Amino acid sequence: MPAQPAESALRIARRDRALKRLENLTAVCAGGAVGLAAMLGMLAAGSFPGHQVRAPARQAGASGSAPPSAGGTDNDGADGGEAAGDTGQGAGDQPVPVEQPQPPPGGFFGFGGGGPVAVSGGS
Amino acid sequence: MTGAAVWRALGTQVRLLVREPSRLGLARRAVERELAEIDLTCSRFREDSELGRLNSAGGGEHEIGPLLAEALAAALRAARMTGGAVDPTVGGAMRRIGYGCDFSLVVSGSGKFELAPLPVPGWRQIHLDAERGRVRVPEGVELDLGSTAKALAADRAAARARGAASCGVLVELGGDIAIAGPAPEGGWPVLVTDDCTAPLEGPGQVVHLTGGGLATSSTTVRRWSRGGVWLHHIVDPATGLPATGCWRTATVGAGSCLDANTAATAAMVLGTEAPAWLTARRLPARLVGAGGGALAVAGWPR
């Protein structure tokens, strides 16, 4: 037996409300997904090698002769202010390399004979 | 067979050795040019030198030439490497203790002489932009590139002579030795002693060097007295007075004459800390105590 008009209108109204709730739920899910993706993207960007963060330039009395900053994952050292990434090994985290006198080359002392031809002494 | 020449420059003795005697003249001219340039640039005792003009300018920021920039950079690097034991701002202290002119003009005196400690201004006060050729020096700070400029000169002269003569060379400049090019079989035999003016057959230890640099710092030379107190030219930057470490002479080998000189001077200032400091840096050294006993450090031959 065909449904009465009043009963049909009620069913239509229920269907419309359900569709509306579904629409709202879809929008909330989509927004959440976008937010989650953005958050994961930011975490990934900070975790992969190649990302650069700005570190303070090394202080030195002789700015023109200061050594280059420590090497890192994508460090071209172009401006002295860019340092390695935040992988836990960035320049900001590493001990600053200390300049040292260079030791002599291997085999510095020979085993020749003969009398001296030069003198090293105080002057 | 080698060729040799000995003459005086920069207020000290120069000795040049070349493996090809026929090229000695070429090498000597190259060394003479280099030392003349260094003297005209870095001498503290010449009013017309670039350093002399900088010191008399009364502080401020100044434009400097590439050679002075290199010498200043070397001196500041030496200061950084030694924690300030070698410091280019000792010029005022040198003047205060009586070494304000060429050493041949320094005279001993018996008058009253105060020796109060006064730390030097410190190398961190000097701001150098070597690439732009500019340096900023505070008012009242007098620079003395002293030993680092001499060692730098030896390195540069050896490289220049090697280039001119196309053979192995050794340059000895006031006891600081720089080697460039191939050494003779078994190495260049070098007498290590207190005084660079000692005769080749004099007392000391003979070592054979195949490259790099060797430098000696000693309180037994360049001495004078004031008011009954003996003074020397190695100033401790912490006190502004002649260093009172336990070594009378320190000889160090390194990759260059400049680094050897820096380490030798630092050893004199560091005193008892010097053996550990040198060993940690793999710098072979011979340290002679006041009584004459020698200590071999970091692979120095016994």
- Residue B218 contacts residue B249 (beta carbons within 8 Å): yes
pLDDT of residue B216: 97
SS3 readout for B6-39: EEEECCEEEEEEECCHHHHHHHHHHHHHHHHHHH
Query: Which residue in B123, B208, B254 is closest to A61 by CB distance?
Result: B123
B175 with A63: Cβ contact below 8 A? no
The minimal CB distance from B209 to the residues A65, A103, A108 is found for: A108
**Confidence bin at A40 (pLDDT 50/70/90):** confident
Instruction: Tell me what pLDDT residue B99 has.
Output: 73
pLDDT digits (tens, 9 = 90+) for A74-89: 333 333 333 333 333 3
Predicted confidence at residue B10, as pLDDT, reads 93
Distance CA(B146)–CA(B134), nearest Å, equals: 20
Q: For B174, which residue in chain A has the nearest alpha carbon?
A: A123
Give CA separation, B235 vs B20, B41, B146, B158, B240, in Å: 40, 22, 11, 28, 6
- If DSSP states are collapsed to H, E and C, what string results for B181-212? CCCCCCCEEEEEEEECCCCCCCCCEEEEECCC
What's the one-letter identity of residue B86?
V
Determine which of B172, B217, B277 to mutate to test the interface with A (most A C-beta atoms within 10 Å).
Answer: B172
- Which residues of chain B does A114 touch, with a Cβ-Cβ cutoff of 8 Å? 186, 189
Residue ranges of alpha helices (H) inside A1-123 are 5-47
Q: Is B115 helix (H, G, I), strand (E, B) or coil?
A: coil
Q: Where are the alpha helices (DSSP H) in chain B?
A: 24-42, 50-55, 66-81, 91-96, 146-165, 257-270, 274-280
**A64: nearest CB among B73, B197, B198:** B73
In this structure, the number of other CB atoms found within 10 A of the CB of residue B98 comes to 17
Structure tokens belonging to residue B18: 């070349």
Q: Cβ contact (<8 Å) for A119 and B12?
A: no
A56 closest CA partner among A86, A89, A81: A81
**Facing residue for A121 by CB, picked from B194, B256, B282:** B194
Q: What confidence score (pLDDT) does residue B110 get?
A: 65
Residue A115: closest C-alpha in chain B: B189
Contact residues, chain A, for B131 at CB < 8 Å: 64
Chain A hits for B63, Cβ within 8 Å: none
- Ordered mean pLDDT values, 10 residues apiece, chain B (302 residues): 94 96 98 98 93 95 98 97 96 83 66 80 96 96 93 98 98 97 97 96 96 96 79 90 93 98 97 97 97 96 94
Work out the angle at residue B90's Cα, subtended by the Cα atoms of residues B87 and B91, and round it to the nearest 5 degrees.
135
Beta strands across the sheet bearing B188-195: A118-122, B188-195, B205-209
Do B72 and A102 count as a contact with CB atoms less than 8 A apart? no
Within 10 angstroms of residue A81's Cβ, the number of other Cβ atoms is: 12
The secondary structure of residue A109, as a DSSP letter, is B
What is the pLDDT, as a whole number, of residue A95? 53
Which residues share a beta bridge with A118? B190
Q: Is pLDDT of A64 > 80? A: no
- Chain B's closest residue to A65, CA to CA, is B73
Give how far B165 is from chain A: nearest CA, Å. Answer: 19
The answer to whether the Cβ–Cβ distance between B260 and A101 falls below 8 Å is yes
The H or E element spanning position B231 is: strand B229-232
Inter-chain CB pairs, A–B, below 8 Å: 198
| Cβ within 8 Å, pair A119-B200 | yes
Residue A121 has a pLDDT of: 95
Query: Using the beta-carbon criterion (under 8 Å), do B189 and A120 form an inter-chain contact?
Result: no
Region A116-121: mean pLDDT is 97
Max Cα-Cα span within chain A: 129
Other Cβ atoms closer than 10 A to B233: 25
For residue B80, which residues of chain A lie inside 8 Å, CB to CB?
60-62, 98-99
- Segment A51-56 shows an average pLDDT of 34
For B169, B175, B195, B249, the CA distances from B5, given in Å and listed in that order, are 12, 15, 19, 26
Using DSSP, how many helices (H) and how many strands (E) does chain B show? Answer: 7, 17
- CB-nearest to B220 from A114, A117, A122 is A122
pLDDT of the residue at A32: 86
